[in-house]
Structure 1
Amino acid sequence: PISNQAETPTQIAEMFDSVSYNKGACILNMLKDFLNEEKFRKGIIHYLKTFSYGNAKNDDLWNSLSNNCLGDFTSGEFCYSDSKMTSNTLAFREESMELKEMMGTWTLQKGIPLVVITREGRSLRLQ
């Protein structure tokens, strides 16, 4: 996992290895593609301005990125890249999507991110 509890200097040193950095970079890149570059950038800027010179938690990043997309959620749309939507894609129109919940499977578990795809008739649902 990228996010771990660490209480000793040894545990802290073990957290900062090439696997963690590479996985973190991959996850941020996937999240950027999922949200779209503009909304991802705005969320990151908000996060950096809010928490510069201070401490932050994972939830602070997810909230910064989610709040950036709030208009999309309330309008019945999802914060995603329009250019990647196909006629068979479920656009999450009448659902709320909890970014924190999704990212927890990507950052708190070992291995690769968990993406669940369910077929509903002619549509695909991504979780």
Structure 2
Amino acid sequence: MKMENFTETNEINELFDLFTYNKGASMARMLSGFLNENLFIGALKSYLETFSYSNAEQDDLWRHFQMAIDDQSQIVLPATVKNIMDSWTHQSGFPVVTLNVSTGIVKQEPFYLEKVKNQTLLTHNATWIVPILWIKSGTTQSLVWLDKSSKVFPEMQVSDFDHDWVILNLNMTGYYRVNYDKLGWKKLNQQLEKDPKAIPVIHRLQLIDDAFSLSNLQEFGHLNIPN
């Protein structure tokens, strides 16, 4: 991370605005989500004890989490903790992750609050290392990772002729929006109309939140959100 010298108090304050703290909290929650609570707390405790009377940098925190990962074999990551977290902390914004349930293809792209009119913004080829906790028809599935712009997960496929449905970002621990193809939204709508309680409350809220945020992009005319 590039180090800069600041001479004015307001320059320093700008580094620690509400957005910075919110993103930091979201990063911690996501990290805890793809690890486990004991591992997360243990690594954090080790870090705090080591640097209780001295200054620390971001990489020091990741190093303590990596040490905790290396001391066990149950959790396997697709990259080092530093590489995973740097993909989130060293670039602005966050992605929208889109699942095509017909093909099982999951892709990521930068999320914009409105339709991008400036084409130069579209050349921003940001890629995050995205942890995806997910459920299929109410059953929690194994964690998968989207570590490139797109990837195929056959286990996420559903057919128009079955009763399965898929929701990504279990318990909303990931720092990203989620979108689905037309069939994916259709299957979720059908389940909500048939038995809404089959989808946990947090995910019903998540679907509404993502749908309305994404609707600003004018790409989601097929959405039909039940009451």
Provide, for residues 36-79 of structure 1, a one-character-per-residue CA deviation record: whole Å limited to 9, x for no partner: 1110000000000000121101111001111012133xx4x425
Spell out the pairing of 1:52-91 with structure 2 (5 A cutoff).
Answer: 52-72=52-72, 75=73, 77-79=74-76
Determine the structure 2 residue equivalent to 1:5. Answer: 3
Aligned residue for 2:60, secondary structure, equals: helix
Determine the structure 2 residue equivalent to 1:119. Answer: 152
Shift of 1:120: 6.3
Return 5+ residue gaps in structure 1 as ranges.
Answer: 80-91
Provide, for residues 7-49 of structure 1, a one-character-per-residue CA deviation record: whole Å limited to 9, x for no partner: 1134322101000000000110010111111100000000000
Letter of the structure 2 residue corresponding to residue 99 of structure 1: V
Letter of the structure 2 residue corresponding to residue 31 of structure 1: L
CA distance in 2, matches of 1:11, 1:4: 16
Aligned residue for 1:65, secondary structure, equals: helix
1:98 to 60, 80, 89: 80
Return 5+ residue gaps in structure 2 as ranges.
Answer: 96-127, 131-144, 157-227
Determine the structure 2 residue equivalent to 1:82. Answer: none
Shift of 1:121: 6.1
Runs of 4+ residues deviating >4 angstroms = 120-123
Letter of the structure 1 residue corresponding to residue 49 of structure 2: K
The number of residues matched between the two structures is: 103
Shift of 1:112: 1.7
The structure where strand makes up a greater share of residues is: 2
Determine the structure 2 residue equivalent to 1:35. Answer: 35
CA distance in 2, matches of 1:13, 1:49: 27
Greater relative contact order structure (CA < 8 Å, 6+ sep)? 1
CA distance in 2, matches of 1:52, 1:4: 24
Letter of the structure 1 residue corresponding to residue 94 of structure 2: I
CA distance in 2, matches of 1:69, 1:23: 23
Letter of the structure 1 residue corresponding to residue 40 of structure 2: F
Letter of the structure 1 residue corresponding to residue 87 of structure 2: T
Determine the structure 2 residue equivalent to 1:15. Answer: 15
Q: Tell me the TM-score normalized by structure 2.
A: 0.41
CA distance in 1, matches of 2:59, 2:47: 11
Shift of 1:6: 3.7
Shift of 1:4: 6.3
RMSD over aligned CA atoms reads 2.4
